[in-house]
């Protein structure tokens, strides 16, 4: 491709897995969509030990453990399953020996 500023030919370089184009005339650099963010992220990884993982939006830190023989809980195709059963069972099953 040609440089959009001076129309000299641009050459493609790979910097840490990010493809960047540099003009052979004015030395200007052309970044595709998202490449600046990719480079910034890479730069911060060099200067910081490791970014903390993003906090997951959950009602409680982790779902409580359950036995392997238990019923599938929450989420996925079982979402709302226990809620329905809870409503049906609460009044009698949870009040008898």
Partner 1 sequence: MTSNPLLPHLTARAEATAHSRTSACPCGATVTLADRPDATVVRHADTVAKAHAPDITPTELTPRLTTATHLPDLLLPPLTPTPVNLHGRLVTFWPYGTPVDPADPDAAPWEAAATLLARLHRTPAPTPLPPARGPVKAALAISRLRAVAGPEPMTTGIASPPTGITSADTTSPPTATTSVLRAWDTLPAWARAEAPQPDSTTLCHGDLHLGQLVCHPAPDGPWLLIDVDDLGVGVPAWDLGRPAAWYACGLLAPEEWHRFLTAYRAAGGTAVPAEGDPWPALDVPARALTVQTAARAITKALAEGRPLDEVEESFVDACDRMASVPLELTHGHAK
Report the 3 state secondary structure along 10-60: EEEEEECCEEEEEECCCCCEECCCCHHHHHHHHHHHHHCCCCCCCCCCCCC
Contact residues toward partner 1 (CB under 8 A) are 59-60, 63-74, 81-83, 85-97
What's the min distance (Å) between Cβ of 30 and partner 1? Answer: 51
What's the min distance (Å) between Cβ of 75 and partner 1? Answer: 10
Tokens linked to 53: 């993982």
What's the min distance (Å) between Cβ of 58 and partner 1? Answer: 11
Instruction: Please say which residue, 16 or 89, places its beta carbon nearer to partner 1.
Output: 89
């Amino acid at each position: 491709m040609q440089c959009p500023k001076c129309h000299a030919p641009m050459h493609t370089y790979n910097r840490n897995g990010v493809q960047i184009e540099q003009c052979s005339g004015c030395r200007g650099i052309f970044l595709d969509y998202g490449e600046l963010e990719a480079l910034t992220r890479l730069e911060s990884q060099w200067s910081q030990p490791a970014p903390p993982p993003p906090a997951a939006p959950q009602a409680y830190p982790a779902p409580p453990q359950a036995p392997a023989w238990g019923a599938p809980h929450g989420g996925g195709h079982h979402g709302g399953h226990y809620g329905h059963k809870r409503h049906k069972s609460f009044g009698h099953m949870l009040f008898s020996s």
